[in-house]
């Protein structure tokens, strides 16, 4: 059986060897045709980060340019990918264009930059760190279903052929707009999700994103789960969906309803662009 070799690096924050072993055990049992290759950099620590900027950049570039690897899977999010994305892209070779890149949360910085540059295939999907969540085994299996087999059952239910998509954590996206990391989203359905933010902060980020993207030519926007919302000292007065609907209406963006993505183990797969032909 042909092996699909998946390189795992940590562009943002550290991963543990214990969790790496758990993810490898799940993969061995459910996807014996997958070989997981963890970069030692995943276990490095430099303050908040999984190694300093140079170490994280070098690990990503080394794996992206490795002709023996078929995909790159970001170990976890947090913060840090934006600090290395531009430098990393300048060092990529043709080998990087033949890979699939999967992650979400802070990894959206790299996904967006790669998509903008037309390098490889980007996927918003679960990461190895999700093994820590309730239902994490299913999250790992779903991610591997796509990375190894491009199994359509892993897809978010609204993802259909002949339509372009992109998906981001809202706070990550709100920091990307106006920077060289934001891709062209014309004719795309944009899906967003969020976790651990006050609703007023969610509202502020929606203002920023929809203001910047009002002239981007989006097909529309879908809202994923907004979870673990902290309780403010007074009720905000609107739900996350009402906030989303209001800002979309104000800036002429079609609101298309909810999406089955989020910072949780149920996070479904959203490939950037159009579906690969073999999966349609």
Q: Please give the chain's pLDDT, 280 residues, in tens.
A: 569 999 999 999 999 999 999 999 999 999 999 999 999 999 999 999 999 999 999 999 999 999 999 999 999 999 999 999 999 999 999 999 999 999 999 999 999 999 999 999 999 999 999 999 999 999 999 999 999 999 999 999 999 999 999 999 999 999 999 999 999 999 999 999 999 999 999 999 999 999 999 999 999 999 999 999 999 999 999 999 999 999 999 999 999 999 999 999 999 999 999 998 754 3
pLDDT at 278: 59
How many Å apart are CA 206 and CA 212, to the nearest integer? 10
Considering only CA atoms, give the Rg of the chain. 18
Q: 17-30 vs 136-149: helix axis angle to the nearest 10?
A: 60
Domains of the chain, CATH where assigned? 4-153 (3.40.50.10740), 164-258 (3.50.30.60)
pLDDT at 276: 80
pLDDT at 272: 98
pLDDT at 279: 43
- Phi, psi torsion values for 23, nearest 5 degrees: -65, -40
- DSSP symbols for 127-138: -GGGGGSTTHHH
How many Å apart are CA 14 and CA 192, to the nearest integer? 25
């Amino acid at each position: 059986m042909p092996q699909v070799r998946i390189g795992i690096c940590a562009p943002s924050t550290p991963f543990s060897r214990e969790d790496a072993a758990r993810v490898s055990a799940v993969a061995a049992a459910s996807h014996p045709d997958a070989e997981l290759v963890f970069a030692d950099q995943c276990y490095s620590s430099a303050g908040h980060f999984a190694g300093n900027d140079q170490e994280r950049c070098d690990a990503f570039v080394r794996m992206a340019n490795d002709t023996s690897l078929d995909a790159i899977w970001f170990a976890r999010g947090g913060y840090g990918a934006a600090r290395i994305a531009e430098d990393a892209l300048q060092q990529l070779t043709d080998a990087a264009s033949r890979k699939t890149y999967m992650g979400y949360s802070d990894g959206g910085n790299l996904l967006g930059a790669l998509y903008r540059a037309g390098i490889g295939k980007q996927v918003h999907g679960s990461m190895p760190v999700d093994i820590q969540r309730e239902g994490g085994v299913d999250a790992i299996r779903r991610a591997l279903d796509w990375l190894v087999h491009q199994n359509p059952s892993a897809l978010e239910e609204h993802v259909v052929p002949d339509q372009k998509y992109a998906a981001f954590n809202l706070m990550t996206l709100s920091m990307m707009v106006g920077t060289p990391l934001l891709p062209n989203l014309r004719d795309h359905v944009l899906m967003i999700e969020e976790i651990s933010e006050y609703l007023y902060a969610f509202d502020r980020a929606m203002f920023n994103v929809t203001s910047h993207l009002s002239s981007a030519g989006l097909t529309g926007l879908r809202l994923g789960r907004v979870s673990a919302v902290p309780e403010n000292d007074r009720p905000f007065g609107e739900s996350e969906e009402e906030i989303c609907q209001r800002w979309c209406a104000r800036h002429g963006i079609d609101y298309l309803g909810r999406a089955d993505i989020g910072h949780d183990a149920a996070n479904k797969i959203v490939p950037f662009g159009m579906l690969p032909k073999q999966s349609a």
